[in-house]
Structure 1
């Protein structure tokens, strides 16, 4: 059975409305991520590197670059600044001096935890204003969307995406 033109138009509008809502939510979440760094000494790209190290522990710079979808020279520049302000340490591996391992310092670990706690507090406050059924529906939809992205050949490298 063929659908009617009005049903097709309504379906396209519903789909467009959904995309608009997800784009607006994405902008809000990126803004929240950026705002959570207010008063901190790092940029969002620098924070992503720190968060990747907090998630995964010390990493060779090449593996950190791969985890963030960056090239090695970008991670080197991020590491230079973070080491300078005492948030990251770099060591050369004794068995292979070309391998540089990145690790959080205590100050870097504290910064990551402080920023993530701030984000979680803001999200908790916002979610607390929703009906529990709305929260349940959003949770299911977002986890499903995350799984779909992970399974998508072109997007799978984004999941799990380091905090950003």
Structure 2
């Protein structure tokens, strides 16, 4: 394997930390709610009431995967199905108040972990990190080979 430039290696290590934070935050969900189900809830919460096909597209999965995940979440009262008022054949799904509590717990745990990480830096370095993150996000928007939307929020 070819050696990576230091900057790329540093970003690779940071990616592992951020994925670990996202993965760990999913453990704030109630017992029995899987990581893919948490992901569906987080993505759906950001979309609001939406057709299942749109949710599948936002998550980067096929519609049958959304159907299976939604079946289990609906059985626990975390999502509710409906129909589009303009197209009665289109099935919609939305997060229930109980589902929003799950999302809030997951996101809160993630925010606490990120705040703890930033708290380890002196204040002047936090501002530098914030600027660098903004620069990286802008660069990601401009780089044609970098997927910025990804398969839905984690």
The match for 1:136 is 127
- 8 Å CA contact 1:51, 1:112 repeated in 2: yes
Distance 2:51 2:149 in 1: 20
Distance 2:60 2:134 in 1: 22
Tell me, what secondary structure is at the counterpart of 1:98? coil
- 8 Å CA contact 2:79, 2:95 repeated in 1: yes
Relative to structure 1, the CA distance from residue 142 to residue 115 in structure 2 (aligned partners, 3 Å threshold; closer, same or farther) is same
Tell me, what secondary structure is at the counterpart of 2:144? coil
Q: Calculate the aligned-residue CA RMSD, in Å.
A: 2.2
The match for 1:8 is none
The match for 1:28 is 17
Distance 1:152 1:84 in 2: 42
Relative to structure 1, the CA distance from residue 91 to residue 84 in structure 2 (aligned partners, 3 Å threshold; closer, same or farther) is same
Q: Which runs of 5+ in 2 are unaligned?
A: none
Tell me, what secondary structure is at the counterpart of 2:27? coil
Between structure 1 and structure 2, the one with the greater Rg is: 1
TM-score under structure 2 normalisation?
A: 0.84
Tell me, what secondary structure is at the counterpart of 1:38? helix
* 1:65 corresponds to 2:49: no
Relative to structure 1, the CA distance from residue 57 to residue 158 in structure 2 (aligned partners, 3 Å threshold; closer, same or farther) is same
* 1:17 corresponds to 2:6: yes
Greater alpha carbon shift after TM alignment, 82-91 vs 100-109: 82-91
Greater alpha carbon shift after TM alignment, 103-112 vs 25-34: 25-34
State how many pairs are aligned. 150
Q: 1:88 Cα deviation (Å)?
A: 0.8
- 8 Å CA contact 1:88, 1:102 repeated in 2: yes
Higher relative contact order (CA closer than 8 Å, sequence separation 6+) = 2
- 8 Å CA contact 2:82, 2:92 repeated in 1: yes
> Residues 14-163 of structure 1 correspond to what in structure 2 (within 5 A)?
16-38=5-27, 40=29, 41-93=32-84, 95-156=86-147, 158=149, 162-163=152-153
